[in-house]
Amino acid sequence: MLSTFRTALILVFFSSLLLACGKKGPVRPLNQPEPAAVETVELTQQGNNLQLSWSLPSRNRDGSVLTDPPVVEIYRSLYEPENDCPSCPTTGEPIAIIDPDYPAPATLERGIYRFIDSDISPGQGYRYRLIPRTAQGQAGAKADVNVISR
């Protein structure tokens, strides 16, 4: 009787090991929501300067509420209006990173951020890409605008 009990106990033990088996993988962090693109993006020329303006998104791309305002990275690329495409990808380092709490070199007035680019040449194509980024480094949706300076 003791050997039957022992055999049953061993069978239960090994059965539980088989049921607990599964494919183990690397630990993955929880997905962080991505911010939506900046809103009301405008690019205008004022004399020898280009003014880029935008407002921060209020939601993430998945529709959830954006709890912390993202920083905004500004990228700039040049293109020849007759030879190049303004929709080509922007590469390189950002020309500015705008922190919503300390927006310099941009300004903030009534929820609208403004960034002035004074390094422009007449007849040159300029393309700007704005990418919001969370404090955890999660990049959001990009917004692109372009203009040919006068």
Nearest to 79 by CA among 123, 119, 46, 131: 123
Which domains can be identified in the chain, with CATH numbers? 39-148 (2.60.40.10)
Integer distance in angstroms from the first to the last C-alpha of the chain? 99
- Check whether 86 has a pLDDT greater than 80: no
- Check whether 77 has a pLDDT greater than 80: yes
- Dihedral in degrees, nearest 10, Cα atoms 77, 80, 85, 87: 30
Confidence of residue 25 (pLDDT cuts 50, 70, 90): low
pTM metric for this prediction: 0.77
